[in-house]
Amino acid sequence: MSQEIARVTRGGITECILRGDVVVVDSKGSILYFHGDPRKEAFIRSAAKPLQTLEVFRRGAAEKYGFSSGELSIMCGSHYGEEFHTQTVEGILKKIGLSQEELKCGKVHSMKPSIAAKQLKSGIEPSSLFSCCSGKHSAMLSICKSMGWESEGYYREEHPVQQGILETVAHMSGMKKRDINIGIDGCGVPVFSMPIYNMALAYAKFSVGRDPVYGEWSRKIYDAMAVAPEMLAGTRGFCSDLTRSAGGKLVAKLGADGVYCIGIRDLGIGIALKIESGGVRCIPPVVMEILKKLKLLDREQEMELTRYKVLPNKNHLGDEVGQVFSSVDLKPYL
């Protein structure tokens, strides 16, 4: 069962105890370390995006449209809707000859409150380009164009785009399609439920890039994420800062409601975690503690990411009234 993974204090008193599960897996499927239940089932949410982007290569869209590293990276990202993000998504749509009206991810403001507040103050209307999933949806539309499929309903489970993605996710996660429970994500597309073990396995296989079918494509997407980490989240976003500071050693991706996945290329391992409550604010300290225990960051990289080790618990005046810190206890799997 899930175990304590983080605490939130206020005035020196523990106010919240958060529980969760972690697993570290190698590309051959062996569990190396764990915390809580290594078979905890959860929806992978947006942490699936790098796996979903493999379809862009499998269906020939990457080669046909010559997508840049930034464009491939934003397909994997949950971006903040900053100007460089929206311009990148517009660039993808221009290459495939479609407009933002074709995106069916919902018209919203930025997922980052501070950016959304500025958009509202400036009178900027909600837009599908601001959706954190507009890169992924553009990727799906590029597959439709490359394959000559009708783009109408591209986001529905029965569409060939989604059926192909399911095949790819099943292959990479070591699961059978029939064993993957499917729900609908916040942006309207199918989302996959699986044990965090299989999420970690997928990231291990993705990162090492040796799969006989998807290996070369995995390496190209991994490289794109490492080269353009600003597309994974945005300015002062944890996924972006962690991937950038690691310098190609790892790639990291958040999934909504408390999911986080990391792939480490040279070691061929994947890490997956799920916060039971679905909260995400404790994820950076938990991830930093996991990486420290596994000795995956050098001293300089740890220094660059110091602000994520312990987060301030702030009130509405911006005063620090407590802290958010990790209590994860990673154990070897014997």
pLDDT tens by residue, 188-216: 999 999 999 999 999 999 999 999 999 99
Confidence of residue 334 (pLDDT cuts 50, 70, 90): confident
pTM of this prediction exceeds 0.95: yes
Q: Is 84 left (phi over 0), alpha (psi -120 to 50) or beta?
A: alpha
Radius of gyration for the chain, computed over Cα atoms and rounded to the nearest angstrom: 19
Ranges of beta strands (E only) in the chain are 3-10, 13-26, 31-35, 41-43, 181-184, 190-195, 250-255, 259-264, 269-275, 310-314, 320-326, 331-332
The residue-averaged pLDDT of 125-132 equals 98
Q: What is the pLDDT of residue 117?
A: 96
Among 147, 120, 111, smallest CA distance to 232 is for 111
pLDDT of residue 89: 99
Q: Rounded to an integer, what distance in angstroms lies between the CA atom of residue 224 and that of residue 209?
A: 13
Q: What is the CATH number of the domain that holds 109?
A: 3.40.710
Question: Domain tally for the chain?
Answer: 1
Residues ≥6 apart with Cβ < 8 Å to 148:
none
pLDDT band at 143 (very low <50, low <70, confident <90, very high): very high
Q: Is the pLDDT of residue 310 over 90?
A: yes
pLDDT in tens, 152-178: 999 999 999 999 999 999 999 999 999
**Strand, coil or helix: 94:** helix
Q: Which two tokens stand for residue 155?
A: 């986001």
Range of the domain at 13: 3-332
Q: What is the pLDDT of residues 11-33, one digit of tens each?
A: 999 999 999 999 999 999 999 99
Q: pLDDT averaged over the chain?
A: 98
- Residue type at 254 in one-letter notation: L
